[in-house]
Amino acid sequence: MLQTSDPRNKNIKVYVNDGLYPRDEAKVSVFDSSVQGGDAVWEGLRVYPEGIVCLDKHLTRLHESAKTLAFTDIPSKAEIKKAIQMTLDANGMDNETHIRLTLTRGEKITSGMDPRLNQSGSCLIVLAEWKPLVYDNNSGIKVLSTSQRRNAPQYLDSKIHHNNLLNNIIAKIQANVAGKDAGLMLDDRSFVAELNGSNLFMVKNGKIYTPYAHACLPGITRSTVIELCKKSNIEIHEQDITLSQLYNADGVFATGTMGELTPVVEIDGREIPKGDSLQRKMLQLFSRNIRSYCETLA
């Protein structure tokens, strides 16, 4: 499914480093680390009238990723919240909004890989757009298992929510070429990891399963689903899952901030049911409860 442009986004204001700029003027230097080497961290935030879903968890992950990469001059949560509030207010946004929050290592004094060349501090970007959920969650999505493996920790720890997304983009390209909505990525042992942009859950015999987060991002929506299951006495397990098990599931769904909960209706040409009663219950449970996870910026 290809996202479309919303005309309301033509004249949005974007926060970059020190203030708000019109969309056409919102830029970073060609010496910025995000340009030089994808050296940045990011979060996707979903805005409802009640607030931003799991805001503190997202800001904590941003901070932890930046610390792992040894960023300097990391803005505080209060500073980031102020920049988000300024951006939303400037655009009159309080619903149906997706925020791409990015923190780069900042501008270099000359091009190069060495972080010691970054001597101006980090650069915060708040890009808020009018944007519906990325997938049609009624129809579901069709996916293709790809040859591109998800990074294992010995190569690049997936717990770092970094901007170097080529691993995932290559998987998405393979799915695009095949006319599918997303690429399904395995880990280095050939167990299921995740889709190129979202986590996966499997329903089988009245239970819910999700892959271990060894080679995938343990997403915040993923953790919300696990929490809701436990609160509702729904049996849920983390375990290694093979493609064969996924093909023969009673239901499969993807989770992520941009799509929330999305049924997967086809994997590698195999039809996956989307009418399983437990899967329907889980999707409804999430829909009823997601706004209770919203947090205000105050």
Q: How many CB atoms are located within 10 Å of the residue 285 CB?
A: 17
Q: How many CB atoms are located within 10 Å of the residue 238 CB?
A: 14
Confidence at residue 293, expressed as pLDDT on a 0 to 100 scale: 97
CB 154 within 8 A of CB 215: no
Of the candidates 250, 262, 273, 247, which has an alpha carbon nearest to the alpha carbon of residue 144?
A: 247
- Cα 85 off chain centre by: 21
Strand partners, 238: 210
**What are phi and psi for residue 130, nearest 5 degrees?**
-70, 120
- Report the predicted TM-score, pTM, of the whole model to 2 decimal places: 0.96
54, HSE (Cβ side, Cα atoms, 13 Å): 21
Q: How far apart are CA 222 and CA 14, in angstroms?
A: 29
Confidence at residue 298, expressed as pLDDT on a 0 to 100 scale: 84
Distances (CA, A) of 240 to 89, 193, 211, 220, 245: 44, 9, 5, 20, 10
In the DSSP assignment, the letter for residue 292 is G
- Which string of DSSP letters, residue by residue, matches 5-45? --GGGTT-EEEETTEEEEGGG----TTBHHHHH--EEEEEE
Q: How far apart are CA 261 and CA 235, in angstroms?
A: 18
**What are phi and psi for residue 79, nearest 5 degrees?**
-65, -40
**What are phi and psi for residue 207, nearest 5 degrees?**
-130, 160
Confidence at residue 2, expressed as pLDDT on a 0 to 100 scale: 76
Choose between 298 and 263: higher pLDDT: 263
Mean pLDDT of 119-129: 97
- Which string of DSSP letters, residue by residue, matches 112-179? SS-GGGB-S--EEEEEEEE---SS-TTT-EEEEE-SPPPPPTTTS-TTS-BS--HHHHHHHHHHHHTT
Q: How far apart are CA 145 and CA 26, in angstroms?
A: 37
Place of tokens 């695009």: 176
Q: What does the pLDDT look like over 252-271, one tens digit per residue?
A: 999 999 999 999 999 999 99
Q: How far apart are CA 254 and CA 267, in angstroms?
A: 12
Give all domains of the chain, ordered by start, each with its CATH number. 7-130 (3.30.470.10), 141-293 (3.20.10.10)
CB 242 within 8 A of CB 192: yes
For residue 114, name the pLDDT band (cuts at 50, 70, 90): very high
Q: What does the pLDDT look like over 13-46, one tens digit per residue?
A: 999 998 999 999 999 999 999 999 999 999 999 9
Q: What does the pLDDT look like over 213-245, one tens digit per residue?
A: 999 999 999 999 999 999 999 999 999 999 999
Percent of the chain with pLDDT strictly greater than 70 = 100
Report the DSSP pairing between strands 207-210 and 236-238. parallel
Mean pLDDT of 154-180: 95
Q: How many residues does the chain have?
A: 298
Mean pLDDT of 201-221: 96
Q: How far apart are CA 165 and CA 174, in angstroms?
A: 15
Confidence check: pLDDT of 1 > 70: no
Weakest mean pLDDT among 33-37, 77-81, 134-138, 290-294: 134-138
**Cα dihedral 63, 220, 194, 265 sign:** negative
Confidence at residue 32, expressed as pLDDT on a 0 to 100 scale: 97
> 237: helix, coil or strand?
strand
